[in-house]
Structure formats: structure tokens, C-alpha cells
Structure 1
Amino acid sequence: MKRTLTVSLLVMCLVLLGSGFVLAAYDFGGRTVRMVTHDMTRDGLWGDPLAQAHLENVEREFNVKLDIVAMHYDDGSIINDLQQGLLAGTADGIYWVKVGEAYQYANEGFFYPLTDLDIPESIFDQVVDPELLTFRGDRYFFIPFTGTVTQLATRQMAQQPDFEGLVWNKTKFEQWGLPNLYELVEAGEWTWDKFREIAIECTRDLDGDGAIDVWGYSPYATPWGFPEVHNWLITNGADVTTVDETGRTVFALDSPAALEALNFYQELHQLGVVYTGQPGYQAITNDLVMMAIIRPWTLFIINDFEDDLGYVPLPKGPRRDDYVYPAVSGGLYAMAIPATTKEDPEALVALAHAAMFDTPDYLDFYGLDFLYEDSWSMVVRDYESLEYLIQGVFNTEFIKYDSSVFLSTNFFNTWNEYNSRILNGESPASVVASFKDAAQAQLDEMLNFDL
């Protein structure tokens, strides 16, 4: 039977509208400003009465009409729209982008540099490394996690940060006599070794026909090409690059910690405990796996599924003492201003912050954990899950340079040739060595140009 959590009205107290509204410092003269979003319509993100009233207030105070244009980022629509506008000299307004992929566009001059501007503080500045929002020393991106602030302020289910953690089938774990993962995390015993052991025990032929019916776990979204390997790199304290004593960014996938992670990744797949036919959130609700790696936007499965599902961080590798929540910059949404803007870029940034509720005038920036508690308590079934999810917000670690622009190949795509060679049994050290020189050449061109 599902357990429900008491949801507070804290957010309603934190959001200040009406008489508490601070007059805008900018006047757009009644002009229309486009905001190009990833799949978020005006009615979708600002659909409830509270958000509608807020957005209308913002438009009045800034003397502007916001044209919210929903496009899908992953099919290239947003970047194509931006590029066409840049070529015509008409690109303007505010664009949502994926930061990890947008570094290359910053390098090509797509965005207005914000380094010397007075950029308002974001509620997410406390959890996002500011270096992620810069490229070659200049800042181009603002409001990380884009629409998430609005979701928090209006008590919708927050879909970001895009960190990864593990959902486990508590009902079946108990029925099968498997360990309680909450107890393992609390005792500091939730490790790669324990994860491997449990994944092996979960992988079973239930009907005796010689074919596996249930697997140990499923990655986040292998069928879509989304990465898995970053999970094992980050939970073992590894990264794809490091900075040497001269300040040069150097390739680091051949470090001991990284190779240990790649070997563990390979071992799990060779053991046959990984199901890759469906994204994790689908595989676990279709009873194909006992554990699934998910991102927060899929949390709805916990509330919808008949079995009791719990949430924990990913297990820690031998080189870490703490639990972290892996992410890649290619999954980090933020906003950017086109280089050809005819509007005051500071005014555009201020408008975006106001529209998203992302200023201390509307939200208590010291209450971010309570905002997430209100948001996610509506979908989880126990306090342990809620606690670990909120910990994820404050303990997300990103791999910044995960794209092919820096590595010469899209290594983090699950179906990339080098990734496939690892999964097919080739030594990870050999695979990494085969593209190290090309990757370093790319890093030198993109990041070490002035050394």
C-alpha cells in the first residue's frame, strides 16, 4: 500500500506576488521578446493561476510581451533556429541550450559574452560550479536548470538537476531476501562490490526455460544512446581531463581511477546483469530489472508503480569515501543570449530571472532544500528516498568536457565505436590509448590554445 507524505505549503509562503513585487529596472517599450525553450510552452510551465499571474506581472513591470516558443533541443531545432537567425542578423531574445554541447557554439561566436555584465544571482549558484557556465574564461550561460525554478516555485515536480541515482524494487528485494539498500548506504557499505553481488543475485531465469527473465539493473537510457560510463567514472573520483602543473588541460581517461571505472563498467556488462532493451525507468516498471538508473524527470514511476520503489545514490567505487550523483554537462540546461541581440543583454538576463522566479524577491534562496522537499514529496513513498534525492541536488558532480568537440569522438554515446569495443571485451586501456592522441589534439585546439 502506498504511503503518502505530508506536503507543506512552504513554497506558497516563499513566493511573493502582488504588493511584494519589486519594480523592474528595465523597460522594453512594449516590444516582444522571444524565449525559445526545450519543450516548455507558456501554458505548460506557467499554466497554474499562480504562475500565470506572476508572468503577467513580469510583463507589465518590464513593459514587454514574452513569446514563449517551445522546440526540442535534441533534434537540433533550437540550434538551427538560432543559427538561421544569426546568419540573417536577426537572432535575439533568450535561448535554452545544453551547456556541454553549447561550448562549441560559444567558440564559434553564437552567444553574447556575459562576463562584464551585472548578472543576477541564481538560486542554483549554490549548487552549480560557475566554471560550467563559462568557456575559455568568458561566461555565456545563466540560470542553470532553466525552468526548474518555476517548477519549484509553483509546486510542480522538479525535473532537474539531471543527476543520476538508483531506483530499486523494495517489494521484490524483501520477497527475495535481498539486502535493504537504505541500510547499506547508512552503514557506508553501498559499494561497487556490493552492487555487483546484488546485481548477480537479481539476474534470474524465473520459469526454468533457460532464458533470463529479470536482470540486475538497467542504465538510464541505453536505447537512446545516453551514457552510462560517466556513472562509474564519477563514483570512482575520475574524469576525462585534468589540469597539469603548467595549466594545460590533458586527457585523463587513462588514469588509474578512470581505467578502474572502465573495467568495472565492462565487467558488469560481461556478467550479463545489465538489461539494455529499455530505458531504466521503463525496464523496472515492466518487471525486467530489480534496479534502474534514473534521472529526476522520471520520478513519476515511483508514485505510479504498484510495487514499492525506493531511491538511493549510486554505489561508491574503491577510490571514493562519499556518495555522489553523476551528471554530464551535455545534460545541463541553461540560458544564453544570441550574439546579434539588439536588446540590452543585461535587461534580457534580468527579464529571464524575473520570469522564472529566480530572484530573492520571489524565493528564499536559503530554502532550496525545502523547495525540493515540497516538489518531490508528492511522488516518493518514504522519507529515505526524499532525503537521498535532495542530497543529490547538493552533491551533483559533472563531467564538463564530455562531447566530441573535446574528445575527438562521442565516447559517451553508448553506441560509439570505442564504447562498443569496451563492451565487446577489448581491454579498456587499449581502447582509450587508440584515441588518446586525437583527443589531446582536440583539447589543445579548444582549451590550450594560449599556452
Structure 2
Amino acid sequence: MVKMKSLSFTALIIALLFSLAACGGGNNETSQPSDSGSTSQPTASAATESPSASASAPAEETYDLGGREIRLASWGEGPKADTPEGQKILERVAEVEKKYNVKITYVNQDWGTYAEKFTTSVMAGEPFADVVYLPANLPLTMIKGGYLTALDDFMNVKEETKLSDQIIEAGSYGTGKTYGFLTAPPLFDNTGLLYNKRMLADAGLPTPEEYIKKGEWNWDTFVEVLKKLTISKSGNGEIDQWGLTGAPHSVGYPLIYSNGGVLYDEATQKAAVDSPEAIEALEFENKLYNEYKVFKRDEGNDWEDPARYFVEGKVGFYPVQLFEVPPRFLDKMADGYGFVPWPMGPKATDYVMGQPQMHVNVIPRGVKDPKMVYKIWEDLQFFDTIEEDNRVIAESWFSDEDSVNEALNTYKIMKFARYSGLGVDELMRPLLKDIVDGKVTPAAGVAQALPVIQASIDKALQGN
């Protein structure tokens, strides 16, 4: 049994947003990024040790930015001292403020006005923040529109930052320059399946982890498990317990990834929903709904209803985004739950978790001394404790070691397939609903929707 560590949801989000992906902004005096990075000169801290001690432990450089305000923008509140996590972050803030002679301010920007605030302030030459945590649907269009400063414009990213190769590549969006940055992809964005432990035990079924260890966690096994969970508990012949629930897109998308497909191919900048892998996945989803009849449909709200069914113990599996666990399931269920990746499709060679969404930190065009701003952001982070922090978070969400490890393993099976901001999701959702409602076959529906989806992609990539 994993030792549980008490973390409130607010504390978790604060820790993730600001410890793993802190962001912010500030007043600017120039409209273009500085070529040299910073005009401020480093000064050595006063040495108090003996010469031999100083030689073994060099004094940390400090900088004097004249008390400048460094603004970090997100759509949430900044850290507070009422939790251990918040206190830890605030202690780091105080250290960084002293090192650079700055005042760090967290800016809570309303999600609904985020894009407008960002673009209008940059166009006016006065970005509203120095570092901005940008929603996943905005970076591509912001890059195309010239609103962002690439880190490569003022530093050698590989040699002068602590960013991993994965983040450097992911933050480039195929441009060859890094615009977005994080300490690491946040755990709360990762996805998989929650399962009801009590229901599996009552049915005499192994846990999904046992199937994984035997190499049998695949679509065929999944169907057999779902069938055994879809029963009439009352005995009157009317089904009142189902194997699976979820919105059509929350099932269809991960099935495509689990079969080795993607919705959008970043390398070719083309929609890929017509690939054999994707079509087979959509056909499988259609069978889950209409042939195998193991699916509990929503009652008009495809966000609230499926989660409620899982909490009430009416369904065995729920397609989860990990940020949902604390507010929707933790301490809300009579039954225990576990976490597992989606089963492997017939065209896949390993488990895959598609990562279509990644919010990133960016430096708006026009921020003064962008190199110093980046270094301030980097010094605020906890790069050396990323794995430890993620484990603490996962242990607060799940009560068994297998589920904790599977949550952390999502990083190892992650495949970037980002389409947020390209209109793909908005056009795919009604298509998937029509497929599961029997209004169109997967092949015919995709053939009809594909030109429209590609046109939306092309328009977004052109900066429109």
C-alpha cells in the first residue's frame, strides 16, 4: 500500500502550475527582444569564507535589475503560504528576488480574455507579463503572428538552459526554434483509464495490471472484460451496470493513439484521421457502442454524466484526464479505483498515450532583457525534484503502487500529437458523435469531414 500524502487540489494545481510551469510578465520599454539578452551586469556575492572554502564553493552570482517587477501570468492564483508546497515556492521566490533585485508578481488573467489581452498588449509594445503560461490552443497562431520571442534569439538553448531535449523539441512547434518551455510536461494533463476495483473483483476478473504483466492488455481482452461487466445486477434482465462510459471523443481519440495512429501529423502538417490505424480505431469504438453494447451513454451532458456514473459505481471504466482525479473522484467514491493505460490496438507495438495538449510558458515579443527574464523563470523552478514531486502527486491520487507507477509511466509512453488550436477537435467531436449514433460509418464520415478539417489546419498554420 502506498503511503498517502495529504495534498489539497488547490495545492496540487499551485504546485504544478507554478513549480512545474511557472509563468509571468512585466512592463517593457522596447518593442523588440534584446539581442544581447541583458544589460544588467552580474556581481559576485560578498565572500565570507576563507580562500580555501571559497575555492571549493564559488559564490553565486547576483544581478541588480534595480527592483524591476517581473510579472508571471497564468489563469490561476499564485502560491500561498498556507500549504507546504506554497511555502516552498514562496521561499524560492524570496531567494530569486534577492539574487536579481526584482519583485516577482503573479498575474491571474481570466481565461476568456487571455488571447485578446496577450495580443493587444504585445501590439502596443507593452506586454502585460514577462512570462506567460499560454493555453495549448494559442502557441501556433502566436508564433505565426510574430507575437513570441524565441529563446534561440538570445541564447544557446541546449547549452544555456536546463530544458530537456523533449521540451526543446516540443516547444519549437516544428519551427527549429524554441518558443515554449516547461520544466516537464505536467502530470495532470496525462490520460488513461480509471477502473472500479470492486466491480472487477465481483466479476472474478484480474486487474488490468495483471493483464499487462501477462502481455494480454489489448483490445480483444478489453472487449471480454467490458462484456462481463455489462450485466443486470437486479436480475430483471434490464442492464444497470456497464463496462465503459465517456464522451465519444474521450474514447475515440485515445483508441486512435492506442492503435498507433494520430489525429494530426505534425511532421506533414496534415490531418491523419483517414489512416488505417485511425479508421480501425473508430470502427472499434462504434462496435463498443452499437454491437457489443457495453457502453453507458450520457443523458445529454457528456462531461458531467460519465464521471457521475463512475462515482456511482455504474460503470467499470472511465476515460480520465488526470487533473480530474482530485476534484471528481478522490474521496468521492465508495469503491476503490485504479489507473491503467488504454489497451494496445492490433496495429500498435506498444502502449501509447497521445499528448495533444500542452500549455507552455512563453516570453512575449517586446519583453525587456528576455535572457534575464528566462533565467529568473528557470531559477524559480525545481528541476532537481521533478520525479519526486510527480510521485508525491500520484501517491496523493491513487492508493496502490501499480496505479501510481502507471500514472508516472505515462511520460514514457507519451507521444506528442498536438492539434489544439487547429480546429481538429472542434470538427472531430460532432463526427464521432454521429458515428456512435449510427448516422454515418467511420470511413464515410471521415471522407466527408477530412477536407474541412485540413482547411481548418491550413488556415491556422497560416496565422489566421
TM-score tier (shorter) = 0.7 to 0.9
What amino acid is the match of 1:377?
E
Q: TM-score, normalised by structure 2?
A: 0.76
What amino acid is the match of 1:424?
D
- In structure 2, what is the equivalent of residue 232 of structure 1? 255
CA distance in 2, matches of 1:46, 1:347: 28
- In structure 2, what is the equivalent of residue 10 of structure 1? none
Greater shift in the superposed pair: 131-140 or 305-314: 131-140
1:377-396 correspondence to structure 2 within 5 Å: 377-396=395-414
Q: CA deviation at 1:273?
A: 1.0
Q: CA deviation at 1:35?
A: 1.0
CA distance in 1, matches of 2:174, 2:188: 21
Which of 41, 55, 60 is matched with 2:98 structurally? 60
Greater shift in the superposed pair: 253-262 or 293-302: 293-302
Which of 355, 359, 379 is matched with 2:380 structurally? 355
- In structure 2, what is the equivalent of residue 333 of structure 1? 359
Does 1:140 pair with 2:168? no
Does 1:262 pair with 2:282? yes
Is contact 2:196-2:313 (8 Å) kept? no
1:139-218 correspondence to structure 2 within 5 Å: 139-143=178-182, 160-207=187-234, 212-218=239-245
Which of 411, 416, 427 is matched with 1:398 structurally? 416
**Inter-CA distance 186–62: structure 2 relative to 1 (3 Å threshold):** same
Does 1:321 pair with 2:349? yes
Larger Rg: 2
Is contact 2:73-2:133 (8 Å) kept? yes
Greater shift in the superposed pair: 111-120 or 382-391: 111-120
Q: CA deviation at 1:381?
A: 1.5
Which of 299, 302, 310 is matched with 1:284 structurally? 310
Is contact 1:248-1:448 (8 Å) kept? no
Greater shift in the superposed pair: 389-398 or 108-117: 108-117
Task: List runs of 5+ in structure 2 lacking aligned partners.
Answer: 6-18, 20-47, 49-56
CA distance in 1, matches of 2:422, 2:211: 37
CA distance in 1, matches of 2:379, 2:308: 36
What amino acid is the match of 1:57?
E
Is contact 1:26-1:347 (8 Å) kept? no
Over the matched positions of the two proteins, sequence identity in percent amounts to 22
**Inter-CA distance 102–322: structure 2 relative to 1 (3 Å threshold):** same
Q: Deviations over 1:353-373 (max 9, x none)?
A: 222324xxxx26xxx444432
Is contact 1:36-1:78 (8 Å) kept? no
What amino acid is the match of 2:93?
L
Q: Deviations over 1:313-353 (max 9, x none)?
A: 11110011212223213xx1210111232x11111211112
**Inter-CA distance 294–251: structure 2 relative to 1 (3 Å threshold):** closer
Does 1:424 pair with 2:437? yes
Does 1:434 pair with 2:448? yes
**Inter-CA distance 40–399: structure 2 relative to 1 (3 Å threshold):** farther
Number of aligned residue pairs: give it.
400
CA distance in 1, matches of 2:99, 2:84: 17
- In structure 1, what is the equivalent of residue 41 of structure 2? none
Is contact 1:99-1:133 (8 Å) kept? no
Q: Deviations over 1:91-138 (max 9, x none)?
A: 141111123442122212222222333245446x26547145435333
CA distance in 2, matches of 1:137, 1:323: 29
Is contact 2:354-2:415 (8 Å) kept? yes
Is contact 1:46-1:52 (8 Å) kept? no
Q: CA deviation at 1:29?
A: 1.8
Is contact 1:145-1:334 (8 Å) kept? no
Provide the secondary structure at the position in 1 that maps to 2:316: strand
Q: CA deviation at 1:4?
A: 4.2
What amino acid is the match of 2:175?
R
Is contact 1:281-1:292 (8 Å) kept? yes
Is contact 1:132-1:400 (8 Å) kept? no
CA distance in 2, matches of 1:419, 1:217: 16
Q: Deviations over 1:366-404 (max 9, x none)?
A: xx4444323322332111112211111222122223543
Q: CA deviation at 1:139?
A: 2.3
1:24-173 correspondence to structure 2 within 5 Å: 26-43=63-80, 48-73=86-111, 76-91=112-127, 92-118=129-155, 119=157, 120-122=160-162, 125=164, 128=167, 130-143=169-182, 160-173=187-200
CA distance in 2, matches of 1:422, 1:115: 45
Provide the secondary structure at the position in 2 that maps to 1:394: coil
Q: TM-score, normalised by structure 1?
A: 0.78
Q: Deviations over 1:28-80 (max 9, x none)?
A: 3211122111324232898633222111111111211111112353xx23223
Task: List runs of 5+ in structure 1 lacking aligned partners.
Answer: 8-14, 149-159
**Inter-CA distance 402–95: structure 2 relative to 1 (3 Å threshold):** closer
- In structure 2, what is the equivalent of residue 12 of structure 1? none
CA distance in 2, matches of 1:72, 1:207: 48
Provide the secondary structure at the position in 2 that maps to 1:393: coil
- In structure 2, what is the equivalent of residue 411 of structure 1? 427
Greater shift in the superposed pair: 199-208 or 94-103: 199-208
Provide the secondary structure at the position in 2 that maps to 1:310: strand
Q: CA RMSD in A?
A: 3.2
**Inter-CA distance 250–209: structure 2 relative to 1 (3 Å threshold):** same
Is contact 2:231-2:239 (8 Å) kept? yes
Q: CA deviation at 1:180?
A: 2.1
Q: Deviations over 1:280-308 (max 9, x none)?
A: 55432222321112122233335653322
- In structure 2, what is the equivalent of residue 273 of structure 1? 295
Is contact 1:259-1:428 (8 Å) kept? yes
Provide the secondary structure at the position in 1 that maps to 2:217: coil
Greater shift in the superposed pair: 297-306 or 35-44: 297-306
Provide the secondary structure at the position in 2 that maps to 1:35: strand
CA distance in 1, matches of 2:202, 2:264: 44
Is contact 1:5-1:382 (8 Å) kept? no
